[in-house]
Structure 1
């Protein structure tokens, strides 16, 4: 039973056209996740890129990934990620136990993230694990023209806030059998806390891209 990495990368990005092949620090965006998977070959048996785009396909092959041809029907803006993962598993002709989802829009990951997370995933026999980070901002909502604090009271110090966390997108590990049931994060999934500046990078705009470039230059 294998552990595989799947990198879903469709070609139809609208806010930042062709972002998955845009050069980040000299390499296509998608290549950063492929290379990260290759650095963890002691955990990952095979690396797959699921895509509907010829340019992404060719770049992924150049960097040593295998290709899953994603049908157009599963490549729309509103299509959930799990449909691409399920489609990939249905095309792979080997027995897969664990799926590691690496989103290309989260190209920067702490070096030991996967090792530490996978050790816990296996030791505790979890069905699913995903990475989270603590938020330190003061949130509120608008009610008419009034701002209503959500996680604090006016005047409260930031360091005294009740901890809130966000799904940072850096890493997901899930049993293949769950994905075949259209589930990535079940209710009992283990939230693996990652407090690293890389958790703030999720590329959707040119500004996000430039921020990632800056962090790479500072952490290389």
Structure 2
């Protein structure tokens, strides 16, 4: 069976309360809850959290709550460890019912830019391609090409973050942001994965090792997980463009 694992904690220091902050009049987390709830390819949904407000919201959507251990509720805790813990709880619960997990939709409470249709499409792609380890939503960010990245040196001056030779002959490089081709970033809206890399995380590619090694891009635009207040207007724009308003959602009717 296919399941969803959602993670969100209450102790954010960068943007306190972000998971329940109002976005188009709803708690931010409710958007990924709705996507999972309305996905035809999911049979059970779990939320890993220590946040009582998220627990109450999960109950409204019929989502099972996994109590996140204290050591996984700090800002230093890695998302991959949260997913591994949650998957172990879900897997053991389902095993007791005589069920096994085929695919896992990994979602984040602060990532609203995901739709039920994307979850279903990702599950269908994994079914059709047994050699794929995961299907993840990605957004094009050519303005953030590694060619443009800089680091501060010991004198406080900016230097290339990555040696220009990494990209080929430096004489051929250009200030044109599209000169290196499209730059795709996993936007954290959805990672549809097979259980193997949740059980053998050390085998996956950095930085999001749960995606495995053969990662198929589910392309969209404007996806992001909210960590800063300036991102919220962009997320609201994405939601409006995909059929959400303060009063309605695309899942109604």
Class of the TM-score when normalised by the shorter of the 2 chains:
0.7 to 0.9
**Structure 2 residue 107 is matched with structure 1 residue 102:** yes
Q: Which residue of 2 aligns with 1:136?
A: 142
CA distance in 1: counterparts of 2:149 and 2:81, whole angstroms = 33
CA distance in 1: counterparts of 2:23 and 2:116, whole angstroms = 18
1:194 is aligned, of 205, 212, 219, to 219
Change (3 A) 1:219 1:178: closer
CA distance in 1: counterparts of 2:78 and 2:126, whole angstroms = 24
2:126 is aligned, of 121, 124, 141, to 121
**Structure 2 residue 183 is matched with structure 1 residue 158:** no
1:50 Cα deviation after fit:
0.6
CA distance in 2: counterparts of 1:49 and 1:142, whole angstroms = 37
CA distance in 2: counterparts of 1:123 and 1:99, whole angstroms = 16
Q: Which residue of 2 aligns with 1:28?
A: 27
Larger radius of gyration: 2
Cα deviation, 1:58-108, whole Å, max 9, x if unaligned, reads: 111122211111111111112112222222222231132221101122102
SS of 1:112's partner is helix
Alignment gaps of 5+ in structure 1: none
With 91-100 and 63-72 compared, the bigger mean Cα shift is at 91-100
Q: Which residue of 2 aligns with 1:84?
A: 82
Cα deviation, 1:25-67, whole Å, max 9, x if unaligned, reads: 1211111101001121x20001111101212111111222111
Q: Which residue of 1 aligns with 2:61?
A: 63
Cα deviation, 1:171-218, whole Å, max 9, x if unaligned, reads: 1122223212335122x2323141323x2x320122112332243345
Please give the TM-score of this superposition, normalised by the length of structure 1: 0.85
CA distance in 1: counterparts of 2:103 and 2:152, whole angstroms = 44
1:146 Cα deviation after fit:
5.1
The answer to whether the Cα contact below 8 Å between 1:131 and 1:194 also exists between their aligned partners in 2 is: yes
Higher strand share: 1
2:211 is aligned, of 181, 185, 196, to 185
